[in-house]
Structure 1
Amino acid sequence: MGIKKIVITGGPGTGKTSIIKELLRRDFVCLEEISRQVILDAQKQGIEQLFLTKPLLFSDMLLEGRKKQFFEADAYTCKLTFLDRGIPDVVAYMDYLGTNYPERFVEACKNYSYDHVFILAPWQQIYVSDNERYENFDQAVKIHDHLVNAYTEYGYDLHDVPFGSVESRADFILNIVDNL
């Protein structure tokens, strides 16, 4: 059996990046979120909120980046690779915005599948806005619902990660992966 691709997803500000950093600290292979880099690159070109002003262009860039990460995961010699978000996240965010999108987005969700998906629920206690995260907490809750719908629609059984310390959340994920 090949490398297991494990997605960690959730709305903005749910602790995904912190968990990825903890897994990296523990020497697991992790592919980090690419949307922040896409946003920063657009801002350097004078586009403050590419996701809002040109959602299809932004989503195309994310789709290509996530497909690249999907194949990049196969290049490692470990048994697990963790990804900060997956391809269905792109569709979920476009659904959240009400953006129409071409069939290639749906086909990518069908053709590139992950072994396990962990989802983090909105957690107001840790939620913080920043330069690349412009959604408020209520919007984060709605995005979470779209993420659940998208991943469920493409046949995934989601593992809900409970609130807790970064270490305990990483332990939770690793315990489930070890027992599957």
Structure 2
Amino acid sequence: MQKKIVLIGGPGTGKTTVLNNLISRDFFCMEEVSREVILKAKEQGVDQLFLTEPLLFSTMLLEGREEQYKTAYKTKHELVFFDRGIPDVHAYMNYFKTSYPPVFLEKSKKYKYDCIFHFSPWDEIHTTDNERYETFEQSVIIDKFLVDAYKELGYKIINVPFGTIEERTNFILNSLSCDL
């Protein structure tokens, strides 16, 4: 039976770096879709879509994450890792105090994951770039909204300890091995 595993946490907490490490170990991984949405918007002349049109941005994210889930479901891989899950979308909407239609929460309830690994804010590794402009302080606040969203949906959250990329990746894999 396939396990769908989500890596969650505020911006700049090391999720993508660990996901890339999992990819290098030949695990099937779904990369973060928000960078793709942001880059497409920039190509169309919209510098920060999630600030100018948060509902449109979030709808595009929701569609992208739903498509990832469906793609993963169709594969024969035993483990599928996701850099963020569907509930992240409404968690961010809550953070931005933006109202959204019920479909956001409905999709979070419809598409369920098996394991949620949480990456806590870590000032030492937090950086910004063209697509990630949130400060460390904002990352801490966003992180709380993310954890709350998953807990409200009944998920048990496993905290990934600080450490090297290898240590964090091994922690996740070792945590999963006891369930396989």
Hey, what's the Cα distance between the residues in 2 that align with 1:76 and 1:23?
17
Pairwise CA distance, 1:3: 1.1
Counterpart of 1:70? 69
Matched residue, 2:105: 106
- Any idea what SS the aligned residue of 1:8 has? strand
- Distance in structure 1 (CA, Å) of the matches to 2:2 and 2:98: 34
SS at match of 2:147: helix
Cα separation, 2, equivalents of 1:106 and 1:89: 10
**Any conservation in 2 of the 1:39–1:50 contact (CA below 8 Å)?**
yes
Residue by residue over 1:87-143, the C-alpha shift from the partner in whole angstroms, topping out at 9 and shown as x without a partner, is 000011000000000000010011110001101000000000000001111000000
Secondary structure of 1:134's partner?
A: coil
Q: Which residue of 2 aligns with 1:85?
A: 84
Post-superposition Cα deviations, 1:150-173, rounded to whole Å, max 9, x if no partner, equal 000011000000100011000000
Give 1:134's aligned amino acid: Y
Which residue in 1 is equivalent to 2:150? 151
Q: CA deviation at 1:75?
A: 2.2
Per the alignment, in what secondary structure is the counterpart of residue 155 of structure 2? coil
Measured against aligned partners, the alpha-carbon deviations of 1:23-75 in whole angstroms (never above 9, x if no partner) come to: 01111000100000000000111111111110000000000000000011122
Match of 2:173 in 1: 174
TM norm structure 2 = 0.98
Query: Aligned partners of 2:83, 2:18: CA distance in 1, in Å?
Result: 9
The structure 1 segments of at least 4 consecutive aligned residues displaced by more than 2 Å after TM superposition are: none
Residue 36 (structure 2) aligns with: 37
What runs of 5+ residues in structure 1 fail to find an aligned partner?
none
Q: Which runs of 5+ in 2 are unaligned?
A: none
State the TM-score, normalized to the length of structure 1.
Answer: 0.98
Output the aligned Cα RMSD: 0.6
